[in-house]
Amino acid sequence: MIEIYTQNLEETWFAVAINKQQIVTSSFGPTQKTTINNVLGNVPFNLPFQVFHEPTASAKNTLATLKDIYGGKEVNTNLSLATANLPVYTKKVLKTTSTIPLGYVTSYGAIAGAVGGGPRAVGNIMASNPFAPIVPCHRVVRADFSLGGYGFGLKVKMQLLGREKRGFSSKKEIEVNGGKLTVFPVENVLKNFA
């Protein structure tokens, strides 16, 4: 059975759905109801679930990690994600997105170049990311450094990126899928909105 836990941490609600020590989905939001609904939208329809309003110690640690990611902190995100039932292409996109380091962004097109497919396909996967904010879809922007979309709203995307600013000044390449993914300092996005 999938266990769903919620917690309000510093005026933001966080939720995580766990099955056999793996995260099935995670989310955050301004209210408990919205956050639970976000999680329920990603829970497989054929599996039983239960919502718990008092998290276990393990769930509290996971929720605290979500809060730290949301707060722009450097965290170890070696969390076990339940990706086995996701389409192969979705797994590739999510795995590549997970490699974008804190303080950097990349484009939908750059991810598509690294995994195949097109920018719109990547955007669709970002729009339905079941592991927000663990898989940092907020770090994926348009090629011109405009925000693109974000399911939690563009204001929230800007706030997340603002908290992740680290003062980096140059792009870098990271290895993914046997190729390279170019990432750029988050400041490239933020200066467009100064």
User: Which positions are catalytic?
Assistant: 137
Measured distance CA(132)–CA(129) in Å, rounded: 6
Q: Identify the bridge partners of residue 13 per DSSP, sorted by sequence position.
A: 8, 29
| Whether the bond into 133 is cis, omega within 30 of 0 | yes
Q: Which of 56, 48, 69 is nearest to 21 (CA)?
A: 56
Q: Identify the bridge partners of residue 28 per DSSP, sorted by sequence position.
A: 14
Determine how many CB atoms are found less than 10 A away from the CB of residue 110.
Answer: 23
DSSP letter, residue 131: B
φ/ψ (deg, to 5) at 22? -110, 145
Measured distance CA(59)–CA(76) in Å, rounded: 16
∠ at Cα 185 (179, 187), nearest 5°?
A: 155
